[in-house]
Amino acid sequence: MMRNYVWVGKRMERVKTPYVIDARHGRKHVLLIGCNHTRDTASPQFVVIQQQFRKLQPQVAFNEGGQLDPAEQYATVQEGISRNGETGVMKYLCDRTGIQLLNGDLAEHVEFPLMLHKYGKDDLLLYYVMERLVVPYLGGAYGSQSFESLYEKAIPDWFVKSGLPLSANEQTLGYFKALYQTKIGRPFTLTLSEDIEKFDYVNGNGCYYCALGRTSKMTRDSVLLAKIDQALDKHDRVMVTFGHGHALAIEPALRQVVRRRR
């Protein structure tokens, strides 16, 4: 049982973050912290993450957004936050307690081929650039680097290497801007304009890219639940940090997973 993302979108505006899900059954205990993706070291969510980590003393933990290099170390919590938000905090805490921090997300090299069975590569390029580059960039997630330099690095390293089949021309920012003009009907601008709503998964009413986004998120949610389920076969205490929209969506399913007889 997972909640519909249109419902989640309406609920998110009224939910205080971090959104803590405490799921227990017998010895099995999962804490999922639904986070805002921020690198503001003053955000109270990072205090909550540290408090909950100490309280649970997890045996394994999962993060959103890919597997971190085990060799990468943060000297302080603040360094972890400024470099990698909630995932940086978890990496710092896991390193100091000697437990694994594992990728709870769906790897792009698996996600992109799956999505290509349902959508064309131009539509996927447009959606993922907006979701994973433009909106986070405008929110300050990528620091002070120029958008052009971010785009030039991200397309081959994050997208093409992970299975999105783009030619050399299709990897250029100029191609993306022309694609945006064709699909959206207006020139691309690096601003939080009303066009962002066309890529927001919470919007229903036949919004094409919103539906694409929901498909992506539900696929990732299923993978996260499967990884938690597998971890509970070996461990009793599991901690997870993920976006709070994902947390709201999977909450009923997570409680079912924790209650499953093993």
Q: Identify which has the larger pLDDT, 193 or 250.
A: 250
Q: Give the separation between CA 235 and CA 27, rounded to whole angstroms.
A: 9
Q: Give residue 212's pLDDT band: very low, low, confident or very high (50, 70, 90).
A: very high
Residue 101 pLDDT class (50, 70, 90 cuts): very high
**pLDDT for res 203:** 83
pTM beyond 0.85, yes or no = no
Q: For residue 135, how many C-alpha atoms fall within 13 Å in the half-sphere facing its CB?
A: 16
Residue 107 corresponds to which tokens in the numbers above?
Answer: 């790897």
Q: Does residue 205 surpass a pLDDT of 80?
A: no
The pLDDT of residue 7 is 87
Residue 34 is predicted with a pLDDT of: 96
Distance between CA 115 and CA 219 in Å, rounded?
Answer: 9
Mean pLDDT computed over every residue of the chain: 93
- In single-letter form, the type of residue at position 116 comes to L
User: What was the pLDDT predicted at 201?
Assistant: 81
pLDDT tens-digit profile of 5-44?
888 888 888 899 999 999 999 999 999 999 988 888 999 9
Work out the percent of the chain whose per-residue pLDDT is above 70: 100
Q: Is the Cβ–Cβ distance between 99 and 58 less than 8 Å?
A: yes
> How far is residue 35's CA from residue 201's CA, in Å, rounded to a whole number?
17
What six digits make up the tokens of 96?
């100091």
Q: What's the CA gap between 29 and 179, in Å, rounded?
A: 47
